[in-house]
Structure 1
Amino acid sequence: MPLILLASSSPYRRQLLERLHLPFAHQSPDIDETPLPGESPRALVERLARAKAAALADQPAPTLIIGSDQATAIDGEILGKPLTHERAHQQLARASGQTLVFHTGLALLDSRTGECRSEVVDFQVRFRPLDAATIDRYLLAEQPYDCAGSFKAEGLGIALFDAMQGEDPTSLIGLPLIRLAALLREAGLQVP
């Protein structure tokens, strides 16, 4: 059985991958995540997911390397991790009352063959109207400054939404487990 390596420093992706009950290691890939000129969010996340997996492809043992990346955009601007309270407040104020599509890129690179399979899983979130006081209360309670979109759907962030729609709710957290489990089965692993 090949080793599984998650090409990510994200604790959220590690927590998600643990749900599959497969032993894995994780390592942070060192790649430039800057969008290319004119690159769409969908193209960006697929390119970055593949690049993250490829950055760790030189493994001594047969390894399945998982790369993932996520992005959304408002008015053509790709939202990244806010890192500060002020930027998170701005992101949520812009999302207020809108429906955003979160694109999560997923790649699985098999070091035995060099084959890399990738895809993008979309998930829609309709934000309820949010006033400044609501945004501040949420941000102070959960401090999601390391999360694209400035919320944690697996936590209190769910209270910011009117509705969610998509095939795989784990894609919203950053690692689409339904598709990943299918890719791992196609690579010969038994899940579960």
Structure 2
Amino acid sequence: MKPLILASTSRYRAELLNRLRISFSSAAPEVDETPLPGDLPAQLAQRLAAAKAEVIARQHPGSWAIGSDQVAELNGQPLGKPGTREAACRQLAAMSGHEVLFHTAVCVSDGTTRHQASDLTRVRFRTLQSAEIERYIDAEQPLDCAGSFKCEGLGITLFEAIENSDPTALIGLPLIQTARLLRLAGYQLP
């Protein structure tokens, strides 16, 4: 079987991929993640996932690469990773009491053949008080997470409901789809 490379240095994605008990390495894809004019959030996630997989597949001929990307959408507008405490506070305050869509795309490519899939997760945030937002951000420091939360941790306390077809998608890598794509690429998974 060809070597498998996760086109990401995200510890969250690596932890998820480890669940499949398949050998892989990780590499940082150098991809410009700036939205193109007219990019809808779902299209942006799909384009970036494919770009990440393609870059790594071309750098490592004879390997398969997994690229993934997630774009949060509030009222039709994409939300990025906050990067700072202040930006995280603003994001969570804006999402308070609203439904936010999370588009998570995955692509498996060997540079010639490409398999893609995506997942849509709907997250309904409960109404959040400023003090709750600040306590949460100070506790988990979700500055590198789209949407400013970690659903696998305390972030779950911010929600009224989560609706999706793959519970791992919200963390950053939809494993149900990833496993399907890896089987298409010839990997044997239980």
TM beyond 0.5: yes
Aligned to 2:138: 140
Aligned to 1:101: 101
CA distance in structure 2 between the aligned counterparts of 1:89 and 1:18, rounded to whole angstroms? 31
CA distance in structure 2 between the aligned counterparts of 1:144 and 1:13, rounded to whole angstroms? 15
Kindly report which structure 2 residues correspond to 1:1-192, keeping only aligned pairs within 5 A, or say none.
1-59=1-59, 62-111=62-111, 114-192=112-190
State the identity as a percent.
52
Alignment CA distance shift 1:20-1:36 (3 Å): same
Instruction: Name the stretch that deviates more: 69-78 or 44-53.
Output: 69-78
SS of alignment partner, residue 145 of structure 1:
coil
**Contact map agreement 2:118 2:177 (CA 8 A) in 1:** no
Alignment CA distance shift 1:158-1:60 (3 Å): closer
In structure 2, runs of 5+ residues without a counterpart are none
Structure 1 position 64, deviation (Å): 1.4
**Contact map agreement 1:2 1:61 (CA 8 A) in 2:** no
In structure 1, runs of 5+ residues without a counterpart are none
TM-score by length of 1: 0.96
Structure 1 position 110, deviation (Å): 2.5
Which string of whole-angstrom CA distances, capped at 9 and with x for unpartnered residues, describes residues 79-111 of structure 1? 111011100000000100111110001101024
CA distance in structure 1 between the aligned counterparts of 2:186 and 2:57, rounded to whole angstroms? 18
Aligned residue type for 1:51: A
**Contact map agreement 2:183 2:189 (CA 8 A) in 1:** yes
**Contact map agreement 2:61 2:110 (CA 8 A) in 1:** no
CA distance in structure 1 between the aligned counterparts of 2:9 and 2:166, rounded to whole angstroms? 22
Alignment CA distance shift 1:173-1:60 (3 Å): closer
Aligned residue type for 2:168: T
Tell me which stretches of 4 or more aligned residues in structure 1 moved more than 3 Å. Answer: none
Q: Matched residue pairs, number?
A: 190
SS of alignment partner, residue 57 of structure 2:
coil
Which string of whole-angstrom CA distances, capped at 9 and with x for unpartnered residues, describes residues 14-34 of structure 1? 110000000100000001000
Structure 1 position 72, deviation (Å): 1.4
Structure 1 position 189, deviation (Å): 1.2
SS of alignment partner, residue 21 of structure 1:
coil
SS of alignment partner, residue 49 of structure 1:
helix
Alignment CA distance shift 1:149-1:62 (3 Å): same
